[in-house]
Amino acid sequence: MTRPTDKWSAPSSGERYAATRFASRRAAERDPRLVAALLARHGVRGRVLDVPCGTARLHDVLRPHAGALVGADLSEAMLASAARSSPARFVRAEVAHLPFHARSFDVVVCCRFLHHLHDESELAAALAELLRVSDRLVIASIWDSASWPALRVRLGLKRAEGPRGRRAVERATVERLVARAGARVVEWRYSFRWLSQQAFFVAERC
């Protein structure tokens, strides 16, 4: 499976990721704001898994909903940085092979990972694994192929990121793969519909 953490494995990569990837206030607040709204809307309380957790940048909005909060990431550098900013329990693991029993968490959050998976089989496996360890909900993000940025790529107005870059996917594909894993998508959320490439969805176990 594609491992986007490979480029963030250097010892200082955690600090570099936190300082440069979300340097502006707008960029830093966008994902936490959307995740917080979804957590509140669906009344999440209990055991929460954040995977991949990166530098734990979502933990300020996750903690109020978590009786127990666990962060998992494949990058040791990310985990080291996360442990300095969050009191959560941290585990080194990748999305495809989570070291937890089935239904271990009330909600699983997966932000900015699925758009790195290029093959549908990889996406299906990741969604199935996220849902396996969830007892109720999965909140995750994708890049929406129906968005204006994705359309610009298809029209040749914007350069594609190449075979190792991020990949947009159809919402219908996500909904089909979620259904195959025994759940259903109950909500989609954007910063700006059509303009925002990143879309969050909430999947609920049936």
Tens digit of pLDDT for each residue in 70-117? 999 999 999 999 999 999 999 999 999 999 999 999 999 999 999 999
Does residue 50 carry a pLDDT above 90? yes
Q: Going by C-beta distance under 8 Å and a sequence separation of 6 or more, which residues neighbour residue 128?
A: 177, 180, 181
- Whether 173 contacts 161, CB under 8 Å: no
Whole domain around residue 47: which residue ranges? Answer: 4-205
Q: Residue 59: pLDDT above 50?
A: yes
Q: What is the pLDDT of residue 5?
A: 47
Nearest-angstrom CA–CA distance, 55 and 75? 10
**How many domains are contained in the chain?**
1
What is the pLDDT at residue 102? 98
Distance, CA of 115 to CA of 127 (rounded, Å) = 12
Check whether 1 has a pLDDT greater than 50: no
Instruction: Report the predicted TM-score, pTM, of the whole model to 2 decimal places.
Output: 0.88
Q: Which residues contact 104 (CB under 8 A, 6 or more apart)?
A: 47, 49, 133, 135
The residue among 112, 129, 113, 107 whose CA lies nearest residue 49 is 107
- CATH, residue 45: 3.40.50.150
